[in-house]
Amino acid sequence: MKDVVNLSKLALPEPLNLIGGEWVPARSGGEMDVVSPIDGEVFARIADSDAADVDAAVQAARAAFEGGAWSELTAAERGRLMIRLSERILEHAEDLAQLETRDNGKPIAQARADMKVTARYFEYYGGAADKVHGEVIPFQKGYNVEVHREPHGVTGHIIPWNYPAQMFGRSVAPAIAMGNAAVLKPAEDACLTALAIGRMATDLGFPPGAINIVTGRGARAGQALADHPGIDFISFTGSPEVGQMIQQAAARNFIGCTLELGGKSPQIVFEDADLDAALPVLVNAVIQNGGQTCSAGTRVLVQRGIFDAVGARLAERFGEVEAEASDHDGATLGPLISAKQKKRVETYIAEADAPLMARGRIGEGAPDGGFYVAPAVFGPCDPKARIAQEEVFGPVVCMIPFEDEAEAIAIANGTEYGLVAAVWTRDGGRQQRVAKAMRCGQVFINGYGAGGGVELPFGGIRKSGHGREKGFAALLEFSTIKTIVNNHG
Ligand code: NAD
């Protein structure tokens, strides 16, 4: 790997798990290589953990939750620790961003933005830790009824590789803010920033067992965590196939879960839209993070009267996009996460059941061993075409024409997913009608994406999953209600 990463103040994480406040190797001694998507070279190793490591982590979390130093902290003290972690992340943001880019392949500008968002999760939820109040319910004479909001206990977190640091913050911060003790299984394809932030938490004096991190393969460490009878709640982000298995495991253990499983999100462009404002956003909503974003706006629905004009402009812009090494300023599209993901995306492109309108390029300087894919625009697509229905998770967009509002709504809602949608129009009535008609968890009007959107409840329906992350909604997910009825006479 060429020496492009300046990890001056941040040591490369070692192949260790964080269990009960200690950094320990996998009990089996197993390790795995970490490959950089930029050039395909091995540059680090992580612990290849199994059920024994997961069991130790769950036990450490249990001890922290039941009587350990973590359980002794007040909500304000938990929040203060989290805010210090937020500040520590910001102090090391550049080093963390360099590490994220090397590990995940995302453009360095995106990695820098991710670190701000990650810090913001710990700031936001740290600030909220002592602001989740219970209620008193007026009841019969002689009774006092209190509704308490309590942590679940031990929470399991299985996160994907597309936003490793952000996902850590998004999943773990609300859980620990509520007083749960967390066991995190990050993705084997990219987990070094999660380990680095875990190291910051231990350095800052987070009590042992409050945050535990066990790295390794999904089918082994991940499955062991999902199946473990000692967890009280599980939060999963990743593929629908694995999400279904997580929900089955949760059912076997009679616990709750949240699932965030991706989407095929529509952006609806009406004839009266401000196209100059819309076009850059339409492009960015697809190529951001190499299209490896659950909320990527990968179906662009365009009203028929402007379809050819918008198609030509979008094709021109995509045609200019170059996939390149992502570790320098100005890179907009880097490699995909792995050889497997590159093959998956290229297969979708090769087998697409719609006309190809434009293809970007792979830059001449892109290292040979990296996992680069030139972006692709397809259209006009039949809304029921496979390429317009399935999540590709790469820089691929489908353009779909529509006649009127009713048809736009039907097409937009016409996949198994329902995560995010956008409507581009100057007509205020239409903005409200279409937003209300969208069957999904988040709708943008004349825009797309919220730069992290830490405060904004986020999640899907059906194949996009269920439950809500971000905002106060996540605190409610990571807690349970107890009603205390006191007959005081
Ligand atoms: P995945 O679902 O296999 O992996 C996500 C996480 O689940 C990782 O931490 C992984 O180790 C873990 N995991 C895998 N198998 C498991 C199991 N049997 N039990 C418990 N945990 C397990 O996703 P992937 O293979 O990395 O990507 C495949 C596709 O999933 C992508 O192409 C994309 O469509 C989708 N995806 C969606 C998101 C999202 O943000 N919604 C993120 C990543 C991937």
Model pLDDT for residues 191-208, shown as the tens digit of each residue: 999 999 999 999 999 999
- Ligand 1 centre and the CA of 230: distance in Å? 23
Would you say residue 305 lies in a domain? yes
Q: Which two tokens stand for residue 314?
A: 């979008």
Q: Which two tokens stand for residue 368?
A: 């040979």
**In contact, 177 and 152? CB cutoff 8 Å:** no
Atom index in ligand 1 nearest the CA of residue 465 equals 41
Q: Which two tokens stand for residue 116?
A: 């701000």
Of 31, 260, 391, 477, catalytic: 260
Would you say residue 473 lies in a domain? no
Q: Say if residue 250 is in the same domain as residue 288.
A: no
Residues pairing with 154 in the sheet: 181
Q: What is the pLDDT of residue 178?
A: 98
Which of 293, 240, 251, 245 has its CA nearest to residue 461?
A: 240
Backbone angles phi, psi at 59, to 5 degrees: -65, -40
Q: Say if residue 377 is in the same domain as residue 436.
A: yes
Report how many domains make up the chain. Answer: 2
Atom index in ligand 1 nearest the CA of residue 225 equals 20
Q: What is the pLDDT of residue 327?
A: 86
Would you say residue 53 lies in a domain? yes
End residue of a domain, out of 239, 261, 283: 261
Q: In the chain, what is the straight-line distance between the N-terminal and C-terminal CA atoms, in Å? A: 75
Q: What is the pLDDT of residue 9?
A: 60
Q: Say if residue 125 is in the same domain as residue 96.
A: yes
| Domain, as residue range, for 413 | 266-452
Using CA positions, which residue lies closest to atom 29 of ligand 1? 239
Q: What is the pLDDT of residue 7?
A: 52
Q: What is the pLDDT of residue 6?
A: 45
Q: What is the pLDDT of residue 4?
A: 40
Which of 337, 327, 318 has its CA nearest to residue 280?
A: 318
350 Cβ contact list (under 8 Å, min separation 6)? none
Would you say residue 481 lies in a domain? no
Residue 179 Cβ < 6 Å to ligand 1: no
Residue 53 Cβ < 6 Å to ligand 1: no
Residue 262 Cβ < 6 Å to ligand 1: yes
Q: Which two tokens stand for residue 485?
A: 């009825």
Q: What is the pLDDT of residue 450?
A: 74
Q: What is the pLDDT of residue 234?
A: 98
Q: Say if residue 341 is in the same domain as residue 238.
A: no
- Ligand 1 centre and the CA of 155: distance in Å? 18
Active site residue 440: no
Using CA positions, which residue lies closest to atom 8 of ligand 1? 187
Q: Say if residue 140 is in the same domain as residue 280.
A: no
Of 191, 257, 294, 381, catalytic: 294
Residues pairing with 42 in the sheet: 35
Would you say residue 3 lies in a domain? no
Pocket probe mutation, ligand 1, options 231, 242, 258, 442, max atoms within 8 Å of Cβ: 242
| Domain at 436, CATH number | 3.40.309.10
Residues of the chain with pLDDT under 70: 1-9
Q: Say if residue 316 is in the same domain as residue 237.
A: no
Q: Say if residue 252 is in the same domain as residue 272.
A: no
Would you say residue 216 lies in a domain? yes
Q: Say if residue 159 is in the same domain as residue 33.
A: yes
Would you say residue 471 lies in a domain? no
Q: Say if residue 304 is in the same domain as residue 170.
A: no
Using CA positions, which residue lies closest to atom 32 of ligand 1? 393
- Ligand 1 centre and the CA of 187: distance in Å? 8
Q: Say if residue 210 is in the same domain as residue 273.
A: no
Atom index in ligand 1 nearest the CA of residue 167 equals 40
Would you say residue 96 lies in a domain? yes
**In contact, 405 and 430? CB cutoff 8 Å:** yes
DSSP state of 82: H
- Ligand 1 centre and the CA of 225: distance in Å? 14
Q: Say if residue 168 is in the same domain as residue 55.
A: yes
End residue of a domain, out of 261, 281, 315: 261
Active site residue 294: yes
Strand residues in 60-142 grouped as ranges (E): 135-137
| Domain at 221, CATH number | 3.40.605.10
Q: Say if residue 193 is in the same domain as residue 250.
A: yes
Residue 163 Cβ < 6 Å to ligand 1: no
Q: What is the pLDDT of residue 452?
A: 82
Residue 261 Cβ < 6 Å to ligand 1: yes
CA angle 137, 141, 147 (to 5 degrees): 20
End residue of a domain, out of 232, 261, 290: 261
Q: What is the pLDDT of residue 425?
A: 98
DSSP 282-324: HHHHHHGGGG--TT---EEEEEHHHHHHHHHHHHHHHHH-EE-
